[in-house]
């Protein structure tokens, strides 16, 4: 039995300025996402850019701690991932 599979890796969602102020390493999200994308290309994996599903200058999807997301973000994230999977798998 031969299993066919595809690997999907999603990008890191951008952090809010307040979160970056508290955790400076989160300012490197773009660098990390570039590295993830390169890793996916090298390995034949699918990179899904979800960095735009939230606007870090708004706190629409962030909890009061400006780090964690509220539940409303997860369906948006899931829809993006499902859409990309369908696009790749046909």
pLDDT in tens, 32-43: 999 999 999 999
pTM above 0.85, yes or no: no
Q: What is the CA radius of gyration of the chain?
A: 15
CB contact at 8 A, 87 and 49: no
The SS3 assignment for 10 reads strand
Domain-by-domain residue ranges, the chain?
8-89
User: Could you give the count of Cα atoms lying within 13 Å of 80 in the half-sphere of its Cβ?
Assistant: 19
Whole-number Å distance between alpha carbons of 27 and 25: 5
How does pLDDT run across 70-85, given as a tens digit for each residue?
A: 898 899 899 999 999 9
Strands 46-48 and 8-10: parallel
CB contact at 8 A, 49 and 11: yes
């Amino acid at each position: 039995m031969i299993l066919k599979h595809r690997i999907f890796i999603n990008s890191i969602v951008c952090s809010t300025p307040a979160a970056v102020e508290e955790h400076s390493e989160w300012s490197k999200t773009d660098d990390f996402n570039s590295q993830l994308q390169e890793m996916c290309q090298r390995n034949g994996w699918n990179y899904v850019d979800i960095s735009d599903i939230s606007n870090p200058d708004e706190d629409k999807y962030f909890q009061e701690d400006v780090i964690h997301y509220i539940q409303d973000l997860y369906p948006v994230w899931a829809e993006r991932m499902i859409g990309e999977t369908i696009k790749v798998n046909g």
